[in-house]
Amino acid sequence: MNIEEIKKTGEKYLFQNYGRQNIAFTHGKGCYLYDTEGKEYLDLVAGIAVNALGYAHPDWVKAVTGQVERLVHTSNLYHVKEQAELAERIASISPEGLNRTLFVNSGAEANEGAMKLAVRYTGRKKIISAWNGFHGRTAASLGATGQTKYQNSFEPLISNAFEYYKYGDAESVKSIIDKDTAALLVEPIQGEGGVVTAPKEFFRAVRDICTDNGTMMVVDEVQTGMGRTGKWFGINNFDVIPDMMTLAKALGGGVPIGALVSTDEISKVMTPGSHGTTFGGNPLVCTSGSAVIDIMKRDNIVDKVADIGSRWIKELKSIDSPKISQVRGYGLIIGIEMESPETAVAVQKHCFDNNVLVNVCHGNVVRLIPPLIVGEEEKDRFFSLFTEFIG
Ligand SMILES: Cc1ncc(COP(=O)(O)O)c(C=O)c1O
């Protein structure tokens, strides 16, 4: 099918709940995607921070195809070797004490699990999260997503368990947390919210406030996890150990997987029958996840992200232009806040017209979340296009 045929069939048979760009891809290799016309695109979006190893990484493909041939799914009625192997690997890279994993199928579902676990463990009723945050679109995750634009018209599904604090403001957290607060959710960087960062002191204060109140500190690493910020997890940048961490996106290298990670003690309350999912942690997705971690460790990808990302951010910050309001980020999650939404869209268009994919989020922010294997060539190509646009 060519792009017009794909669009026509999709318009007839698919829900029209996405605003899609006028392109479809047939395959990818490394940091490059190929469309239905055979045109090559440099991809600095990576399937929204998913394709950490880029496309068709040979070692990942070998591991995954081998697993497809052997066994894809059996359910959680039985023991699953690949689950145990991936959970052991996650424990090897997680903050101290976070050594137990429950596998699910997406980021939203990982956050649902975290909230259920916190409520069951503490016996409390209230959940607090940040204004402008994003935790997913399922009912409780949507409740935790402090942005009315996502909640509008779905209010009947949102529980009154939720209250919101100002991101980066410890006083605001103190003003709403109490002895009935089961969990505090926080992103190390608000990705969907426009790559918004908060100071180290904020995360440290939040840790102390949660401890003082007996509240579970839940760090949503769905977008910032798996090396994206130049550390295995975004929270590692602040030397804080949370009670729970949620993962998805890059964990599977492209297959749908989510994970809730917590401690021996907290995880104990999820007794048989208390929570679960049919697909969660099947052999296919877990082998994919193990391959991602093994390849990232072997090739020292996290340190490389820290290096290239810090230079990328530094160079962007050095551009003096009224068109740029601010440059934010860590590692390879970079937000360039433009003077207006129109300018951000114009940057995206200029890149697209020159076969480079970038993403605009939260109105006026050009977000760069490339595969974690990008090199100098890709960085230089974006820079020359961006500086050409800036003039
Ligand atoms: C921080 C964060 N949490 C949760 C989610 C939801 O993940 P999913 O789309 O896999 O449900 C996202 C998705 O963008 C995210 O960025």
Burial class (CB in 10 A: 0-12, 13-18, 19+), 252: buried
Structure tokens, 149: 């634009």
Ligand 1 contact, 103 CB (< 6 A):
no
Ligand 1 contact, 190 CB (< 6 A):
no
Q: Are residues 101 and 33 in the same domain?
A: no
In this predicted structure, the answer to whether residue 388 has a pLDDT above a threshold of 90 is: yes
Q: Are residues 269 and 379 in the same domain?
A: no
Q: Are residues 358 and 322 in the same domain?
A: yes
Tell me the CATH number at 20.
Answer: 3.90.1150.10
129 lies in which domain range?
71-298
Cβ partners under 8 Å of residue 12, min gap 6 = none
Contact (CB, 8 A) for 72 and 213:
no
Structure tokens, 59: 């070692």
Give the number of domains in the chain. Answer: 2
User: Which of 264, 298, 332 is a domain's end point?
Assistant: 298
- Please tell me the predicted confidence (pLDDT) of residue 391: 87
Tens digits of residue pLDDT in 42-84: 999 999 999 999 999 999 999 999 999 999 999 999 999 999 9
Q: In whole angstroms, what is the distance from residue 133 CA to residue 186 CA?
A: 8
- Placement of tokens 């749908």 in the chain: 256
pLDDT confidence tier of residue 332, bands split at 50, 70 and 90 = very high
Tens digits of residue pLDDT in 123-135: 999 999 999 999 9
pTM of the model: 0.98
User: Which of 252, 271, 298 is a domain's end point?
Assistant: 298
Q: In whole angstroms, what is the distance from residue 290 CA to residue 315 CA?
A: 34
The DSSP symbol for 30 reads B
Q: Whose CA is nearest to atom 4 of ligand 1?
A: 135
Cβ partners under 8 Å of residue 342, min gap 6 = none
What average pLDDT does this structure show over 123-151? Answer: 97
CA of residue 1 to ligand 1 center, whole Å: 31
Tens digits of residue pLDDT in 8-18: 999 999 999 99
Q: Are residues 175 and 212 in the same domain?
A: yes
Q: Whose CA is nearest to atom 8 of ligand 1?
A: 107
Name beta bridge partners: 262.
100, 244
User: Which of 237, 264, 298 is a domain's end point?
Assistant: 298
Tell me the CATH number at 132.
Answer: 3.40.640.10
Q: In whole angstroms, what is the distance from residue 193 CA to residue 24 CA?
A: 26
CA of residue 220 to ligand 1 center, whole Å: 9
